[in-house]
Copies of this chain bind each other. A is one copy, B any other.
Amino acid sequence: MLTGDQYRQSLADGRRVFFQGQEVDVLEHEIFQRSIRSVARTYDKYFNPEDGAISEYFRAPRSVEEMTAHAEHKVDVVTSNTYGSLMTLLTSADRIEAIRPEASAAMRGYVAYVQREDLRIAECITDAKGDRSKSASAQEDPDAYLRVVEQRPDGVVIRGAKLHISGAALSHELLVIPTKRMKEGEEAYSIACTVPVNAEGVKIVNVTSEPQGDANFLDAPISANAHTAMGFVIFDNVFVPGDRVFLNGEYQAAATFAHALGLWVRMNGLKNMADEADALVGFAQLIAEANGLQRAPNIRDRITEMIMHATIVRACLDAALSKSTVSAEGVVVPDELYANAGKYQGAAFRALMVSYIQDIAGGSLVTVPSSLDLENPEVGHEIRKYMSTMQSVDGKYRTSLFHALRDVVASGHAGQKQVATLQGGGGLTAQRIVTRGRYDLEKAKRQALELAGLDAPT
- Judge whether A234 and B304 touch: CB under 8 Å: no
Q: Does A55 contact B (CB under 8 A)?
A: no
Binding stretch for chain B, among A80-88, A183-191, A363-371: A363-371
A129 CA to B291 CA, complexed, in Å? 9
Interface pick from A36-44, A150-158, A244-252, A337-345: A337-345
A34 contacts partner chain B, Cβ-Cβ < 8 Å: no
* Of B342, B387, B449, the contact of A282 (CB 8 Å cutoff): B449
Pick the interface stretch among A98-106, A325-333, A377-385: A377-385
Q: How far is it, in angstroms, between the C-alpha of A443 and the C-alpha of B281 when the chains are bound?
A: 10
Q: Which of B126, B133, B354 contacts A296 (CB 8 A)?
A: B133
Q: Which of B144, B230, B393 contacts A367 (CB 8 A)?
A: B230
Indicate whether A312 reaches chain B with its CB closer than 8 angstroms. Answer: yes
Which one of B281, B290, B373, B420 contacts A457 once the chains associate, using CB atoms below 8 Å?
A: B290
From the candidates B141, B411, B423, name the one contacting A363 in the complex (CB within 8 A): B423
Q: Which of A2-10, A14-22, A45-53, A258-266 contacts B (4 or more CB under 8 A)?
A: A14-22
**Is A123 an interface residue when CB atoms closer than 8 A count as contact?**
no
- Of the candidates B213, B388, B448, the one whose C-beta lies within 8 Å of that of A212 is B213
Task: Contact check, A278 vs B311: say whether CB atoms are below 8 A apart.
Answer: no
CB distance from A337 to the nearest CB of B (A): 6
Check A207/B368 contact, CB under 8 A, given A351-B354, A375-B21. yes
User: Which of A111-119, A169-177, A426-434 lies at the interface with chain B?
Assistant: A426-434
Shortest Cβ distance from residue A240 to the other chain B in the assembled complex, whole angstroms: 19
Query: Contacts of A23 on B, CB cut-off 8 Å?
Result: 376, 378
Determine how close the nearest CB of chain B comes to the CB of A63; give it in whole angstroms.
Answer: 14
| Complex Cα spacing A134 to B354, Å | 27
Let me know if B207 and A358 touch, CB within 8 A. no
Cβ–Cβ contact B307 & A439, under 8 A: yes
CB distance from A137 to the nearest CB of B (A): 15
Mark A416-446 against chain B: 1 for CB-CB distance below 8 A, else 0. Answer: 1011101100011100100110010101111
Q: How far is the CA of A278 from the CA of B443 in the complex (A)?
A: 8
Separation in Å of the A68 CB from the closest CB of chain B? Answer: 11
Size of the chain A interface, CB-CB below 8 angstroms? 152
Asked if B312 contacts A341 (CB within 8 A), the reply is yes
Question: Shortest Cβ distance from A395 into chain B, in angstroms?
Answer: 9
The answer to the question of A293 belonging to the interface, with a C-beta cut-off of 8 Å to chain B, is yes
A215:B414 contact, CB within 8 angstroms: no
Q: Which of B278, B366, B389 contacts A130 (CB 8 A)?
A: B389
> Contacts of A22 on B, CB cut-off 8 Å?
372, 376
A397 touches B133 (CB 8 A): no
Partner of A358, one of B234, B318, B422: B422
Q: Is the CB of B296 within 8 A of A132?
A: yes
> Which residues in B have their C-beta under 8 angstroms from that of A389?
129-132, 144
Tell me which residues from 269 to 314 in chain A have a Cβ below 8 Å from any Cβ of chain B: 275, 278-283, 285-286, 289-293, 295-298, 301, 304, 307-308, 310-312, 314
A373 touches B278 (CB 8 A): no
A362 at interface by CB-CB < 8 Å:
yes
Q: Mark A378-407, 1 if CB is under 8 A from B, else 0.
A: 110011011111111110010011011010
Whether A66 sits at the interface, judged by CB under 8 Å, is no
Determine the chain B residues whose CB is within 8 A of the CB of A449 once the complex forms: 282, 286
Other A-B pairs, 9, CB within 8 Å; known A131-B291, A280-B448, A404-B448: A22-B372, A160-B386, A285-B445, A285-B448, A315-B319, A315-B341, A318-B338, A319-B319, A400-B453
**Could you list 5 examples of A-B contacts with CB < 8 Å?**
A132-B389, A311-B338, A311-B341, A404-B453, A414-B415
Closest 8 A/B residue pairs (Cβ): A21-B372, A410-B415, A282-B448, A297-B297, A404-B452, A131-B292, A282-B444, A351-B355
